[in-house]
Amino acid sequence: MKVLFIFNREPYDGSDVAWNGLRLAKNMHGRGHDVRIFLMNDSVDLARDCNKKPDNYDNDLVAMLKEMYQDGVKLKVCGTCQARCGIYKNEPYFAPEIKATMNDLADWVEECDQVLTF
């Protein structure tokens, strides 16, 4: 099954929304599903090395996403949002090839069996 996870929220916003979405994506990937993650709005900070885990958080979400990406989870990040969104506006993403467009997101929505948003 192809599953698309769309993240919108700031990674360390005082909730566990991003963490729970990443945990589910990792679990689905571990079960052999084709997992794709698209980051937009303030969630783009998940793909920035400059985004450090706050002291009051147990989990490093950027490291978690990088590990998943290196393990084969497909990742794309909104190119327009790079300059417009997140705390670290205009900072680069940890991998230049993940920068994407709405056309890329539309393609993934059409290709996937399920689309989940966080």
pLDDT digit string, tens, across residues 46-64: 999 999 999 989 999 999 9
**What residue has token string 């327009």?**
80
pTM here is 0.96
State the pLDDT at residue 43: 97
State the pLDDT at residue 99: 96
**Segments of the chain with pLDDT less than 50:** none
Which residues, 6 or more positions from 78, have their beta carbon under 8 angstroms from its beta carbon? 38, 39, 40, 41, 44, 85, 100, 101, 102, 105
Please, what are the domains in the chain?
A: 2-117 (3.40.1260.10)
C-beta neighbour count of 15 within 10 angstroms: 10
State the pLDDT at residue 118: 97
State the pLDDT at residue 95: 96
State the pLDDT at residue 72: 98
